[in-house]
């Protein structure tokens, strides 16, 4: 007998029970909390099974009256959360997505293995429980060399920067790939302020020898996981190892802790090599993709 998976509209979601489920889920991700979705998704409904034992956010947009499920900005993994899932229950959740959502392109999470209509994507994570000395020995030689180079040239770690400086550097990179970046960054800024108040966000920067900010990153923390969430790098830092030094500084400060550094990707070969060069291991997850539009509406996705 198929489980009674309910479609719940945003206004009717019990946010207290929802976030309690996220707190208890083995596959919990910061992106799945109601307050994160409220901040970053234009609209979101949900699928709920039982008394919130399993939950699945459905972030959606509408274009020309057609609803579709999309990946909100800086929400790297969504999908089904809760108690351990079987492949069959994962399939039933995916099949329970209402037919009114005619298009779907959204990342799930590693607990959703076997999801139908999905591709496999790559993430890299680094266990920070070992000592810094042990972690440093796992770096590839080029990471060790570039980190030393940055500090030998006079680069310094700084925490005296605001989120607007990280955003400024990030915008210069993202304008090329995201037409909605201005609005997305405004949403992120509000989310950062929320997490800063909760002491679950921090910013690292690397200044060059002349004091110029060359590399910067915002990290979020949730449930034993640190997210390399927003990165802003200056072109002048590329040749002196500024981004290498930044990640090394974060690893050094958080080594020996019950913490997993989540690099949030990547399927891009150069980035995958960069992250894995710090000793990070591969974590794969499904990417749900379907197009149920009639043939004459296939252009909608463009």
Mean pLDDT within 270-284: 97
Mean per-residue pLDDT of the chain: 94
Which residues pair with residue 157 across a beta bridge? 206
The reply to whether 114 and 139 lie within a common domain is no
Report the CATH number that the domain containing residue 219 is assigned in CATH: 3.40.630.30
**What is the domain extent for residue 239?**
129-258
Residue 159: CB atoms within 10 A of its CB come to 9
User: Is 270 part of any domain?
Assistant: no
The reply to whether 59 and 134 lie within a common domain is no
3-state class (DSSP) for residue 140: coil
The reply to whether 254 and 158 lie within a common domain is yes
Two structure tokens written together for 264: 């949030």
pLDDT at 13 over 50: yes
pLDDT tens digits, one per residue of 181-191:
888 999 999 99
**Using an 8 Å Cβ cutoff, are 211 and 160 in contact?**
no
The reply to whether 58 and 89 lie within a common domain is yes
d(CA 22, CA 174): 30
**pLDDT interval class at 173 (50, 70, 90):** confident
Report the CATH number that the domain containing residue 53 is assigned in CATH: 3.40.630
Mean pLDDT within 90-102: 96
Q: Which pLDDT score, from 0 to 100, does residue 174 have?
A: 74
User: Is 279 part of any domain?
Assistant: no
**pLDDT interval class at 210 (50, 70, 90):** very high
Percent of the chain with pLDDT over 90: 89
Mean pLDDT within 103-107: 96
pLDDT at 6 over 80: yes
Out of 6-15, 162-171, 245-254, 286-295, pick the least confident: 286-295
The reply to whether 112 and 170 lie within a common domain is no
Which residues pair with residue 202 across a beta bridge? 219
Strands 81-82, 54-63: pairing is: antiparallel
Residue recorded with tokens 């570039």:
146
- Number of structural domains (the chain) is 2
3-state class (DSSP) for residue 264: coil
Give helix 141-152 / helix 242-254 axis angle, nearest 10°.
Answer: 100
The reply to whether 99 and 170 lie within a common domain is no
The reply to whether 45 and 69 lie within a common domain is yes
pLDDT tens digits, one per residue of 24-82:
999 999 999 999 999 999 999 999 999 999 999 999 999 988 999 999 999 999 999 99
Mean pLDDT within 277-281: 98
The reply to whether 135 and 251 lie within a common domain is yes
pLDDT tens digits, one per residue of 235-268:
999 999 999 999 999 999 999 999 999 999 899 9
């Amino acid at each position: 007998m198929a489980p009674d998976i309910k479609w719940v509209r945003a206004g009717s979601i019990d946010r207290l029970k929802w976030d309690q489920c996220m707190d208890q889920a083995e596959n919990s991700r910061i992106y799945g909390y109601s307050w994160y979705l409220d901040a970053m998704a234009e609209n979101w409904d949900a699928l709920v099974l039982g008394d919130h034992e399993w939950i699945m956010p459905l972030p959606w947009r509408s274009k020309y009256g057609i609803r579709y499920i999309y990946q909100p900005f800086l929400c790297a993994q969504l999908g089904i959360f809760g108690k351990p899932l079987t492949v069959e229950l994962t399939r039933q959740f995916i099949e329970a997505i209402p037919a009114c959502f005619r298009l779907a392109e959204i990342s799930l999470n590693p607990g959703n293995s076997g999801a139908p209509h999905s591709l496999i994507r790559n993430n890299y994570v680094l266990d920070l429980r070992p000592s810094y000395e042990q972690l440093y020995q796992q770096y590839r030689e080029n990471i060790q060399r570039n980190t030393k180079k940055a500090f030998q040239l006079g680069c310094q770690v700084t925490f005296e920067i605001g989120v607007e400086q990280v955003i400024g550097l990030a915008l210069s990179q993202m304008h090329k790939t995201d037409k909605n970046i201005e609005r997305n960054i405004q949403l992120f800024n509000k989310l950062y302020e929320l997490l800063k108040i909760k002491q679950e966000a921090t910013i690292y920067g690397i200044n060059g020898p002349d004091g110029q900010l060359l590399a910067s990153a915002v990290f979020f923390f949730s449930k034993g996981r640190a997210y390399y969430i927003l990165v802003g790098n200056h072109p002048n830092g590329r040749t002196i190892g500024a981004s290498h030094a930044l990640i090394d500084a974060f690893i050094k400060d958080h080594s020996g802790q019950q913490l997993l550094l989540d690099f949030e990707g990547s399927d891009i070969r150069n980035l995958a090599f960069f992250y894995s060069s710090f000793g990070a291991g591969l974590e794969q997850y499904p990417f749900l993709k379907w197009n149920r539009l009639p043939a004459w509406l296939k252009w909608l996705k463009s």
